[in-house]
């Protein structure tokens, strides 16, 4: 296949993703989010980057530490990125890492969900997402800085995640135990990615065991093999519970993001059969969740087309589309399947036409079904410096690999 004949805009697209990352997105967070008084970052930023809420959410703090540490690590030896800029990235990561080291954990090593501006505990450690992103952050920061304390925090947190994963919310779980046992897709998908991120700290045996378990869970418990889409919640034996909201819930963004996590594992194992299965699921999910009237990917869906309990079900969110772009480019590179390229162009056009903000940098996060801006913000309690810069970086990387193929 002559790739440039079918994908003539490769070079232009690669430059577009790279320029957006380094000229419009990273500078926004570098300039607007640091808290030089107490440490860490402000994430609740309006369109122009003004702070409208000072609370600090652990998972977003950690994601930003990860992002700037990762950039430092990936571009450390590349001459096009000046040494002064790389040093700024590491300093930025250090600002968040030191704040988290000092304030982020309770006495048992569990990570709080939120802190005050000054770093006082605000919301209890009910969410394992805080721990997962803290482990990711300190693994990447330790690699960048050589900080042994960061390395130990990453390992201790990773071990604690395995202890808590069967009952992640612990005493903070509001569900009555045993009344409706359901397991969530989020656990194996995030553990798959976290283990891949922390490979440099783990034994090959442990990595393979965790990845085997994650692939098995996703493909044999959460996958509806008839429709080839992933359910968000199933019974522990994989049986679907179609008599409740949670049991019928499909979260397209999660399903698609999980697939590119697993593609990374399958690529390392050179398992082409699995890669194609993962691509099949991405394409089936898009067929199922694409809004044929207004375009874009629905946020939540009901597997049986019943009224969903999530009132925001028909919104179009930035992260869903960005994770899809990664999955489609990766799927195209690994399989050459033209359906991936066709869908990529469609999702790319929708994303760049609706979420971008050329005037002030960063992207909007929340659109209504018609694609109109719902919230005039760039960051908040659920949106920070993560999905967009990660997607821009990974899409740029995938495009570069295609150019060099």
Q: Whose CA is closest to 379, among 13, 45, 7? A: 45
DSSP states of 116-175: -TTS-EEE-S--HHHHHHHHHHHHHHHHHH--HHHHHHHHHHHHHHHHHTTSTTGGG--S
Residue 168 pLDDT greater than 90, yes or no: no
- Given a cut of 60, whether residue 223 has pLDDT beyond it is yes
The helix/strand/coil state of 357 is coil
Burial of 212 (0-12, 13-18, 19+ CB in 10 A): exposed
pLDDT at 1 over 70: no
Kindly tell me if the per-residue pLDDT of 170 is higher than 90: no
Instruction: Report the pLDDT averaged over residues 250-274.
Output: 98
Averaged over 378-391, what is the pLDDT? 98
**What is the token pair recorded at 141?**
């920061």
Whole-angstrom distance, CA of residue 391 vs CA of residue 398: 10
SS3 267: helix
Residue 79: the pLDDT is 58
Q: What is the pTM of this model?
A: 0.97
β 114-115/121-123 pair status = antiparallel
Provide mean pLDDT across the span 211-232: 97
Percent of the chain exceeding pLDDT 70 equals 99
Question: Quick one: pLDDT at residue 387?
Answer: 98
CA 116 – CA 5 distance, rounded (Å): 54
Our CA dihedral for 144, 146, 150, 151, rounded to 10 degrees, sits at: 100
Query: Residue 131 contacts by C-beta under 8 Å, 6 or more apart in sequence?
Result: 110, 111, 125, 157, 160, 161, 164
Q: Which two tokens stand for residue 301?
A: 């869906």
Which pLDDT band, with edges at 50, 70 and 90, does 78 fall under? low
CA angle 234-317-58, nearest 5°?
75
> Are the C-beta atoms of residues 69 and 90 closer than 8 Å to each other?
yes
How much is the mean pLDDT over the chain? 95
Mean local confidence (pLDDT), 18-40: 97
The pLDDT tens digits for 171-210 are: 898 888 888 999 999 999 999 999 999 999 999 999 999 9
């Amino acid at each position: 296949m002559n790739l440039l004949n079918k994908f003539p805009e490769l070079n232009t697209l690669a430059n577009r993703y790279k320029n957006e990352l380094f000229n419009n997105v990273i500078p926004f967070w570098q300039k607007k989010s640091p808290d030089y008084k107490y440490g860490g970052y402000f994430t609740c930023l309006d369109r122009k980057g003004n702070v409208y809420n000072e609370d600090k959410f652990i998972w977003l703090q950690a994601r930003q530490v990860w992002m700037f540490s990762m950039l430092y690590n990936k571009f450390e030896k590349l001459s096009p990125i000046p040494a002064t800029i790389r040093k700024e990235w590491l300093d930025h990561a250090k600002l968040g890492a030191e704040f988290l080291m000092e304030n982020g954990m309770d006495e048992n090593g569990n990570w709080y969900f939120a802190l005050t501006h000054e770093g006082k505990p605000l919301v209890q450690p009910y969410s394992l997402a805080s721990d997962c992103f803290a482990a990711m952050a300190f693994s990447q920061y330790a690699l960048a800085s050589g900080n042994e304390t960061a390395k130990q925090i990453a390992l201790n947190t990773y071990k604690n995640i395995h202890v808590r994963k069967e009952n992640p919310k612990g005493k903070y779980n509001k569900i009555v135990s045993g009344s409706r046992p359901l397991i969530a897709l989020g656990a194996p998908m995030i553990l798959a990615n976290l283990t891949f991120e922390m490979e440099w700290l783990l034994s090959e045996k442990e990595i393979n065991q965790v990845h085997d378990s994650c692939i098995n869970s996703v493909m044999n418990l959460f996958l509806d093999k008839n429709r080839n889409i992933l359910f968000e919640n199933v019974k522990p034996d994989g049986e679907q519970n179609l008599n409740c909201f949670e049991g019928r819930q499909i979260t397209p963004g999660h399903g698609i993001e999980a697939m590119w996590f697993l593609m990374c594992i399958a690529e390392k194992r050179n398992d082409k059969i699995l890669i194609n299965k993962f691509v099949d699921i991405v394409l089936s999910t898009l067929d199922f969740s694409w809004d044929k009237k207004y375009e874009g990917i629905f946020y939540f869906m009901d597997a049986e087309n019943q009224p969903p309990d999530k009132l925001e079900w028909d919104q179009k969110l930035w992260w869903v589309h960005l994770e899809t772009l990664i999955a489609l480019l990766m799927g195209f590179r690994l399989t050459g399947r033209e359906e991936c390229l066709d869908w990529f162009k469609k999702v790319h056009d929708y994303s760049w036409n609706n979420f971008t903000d050329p005037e002030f940098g960063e992207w909007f996060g929340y659109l209504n079904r018609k694609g109109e801006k719902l919230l005039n913000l760039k960051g908040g309690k659920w949106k920070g410096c993560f999905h967009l810069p990660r997607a821009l970086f990974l899409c740029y990387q995938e495009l570069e690999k295609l150019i060099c193929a």
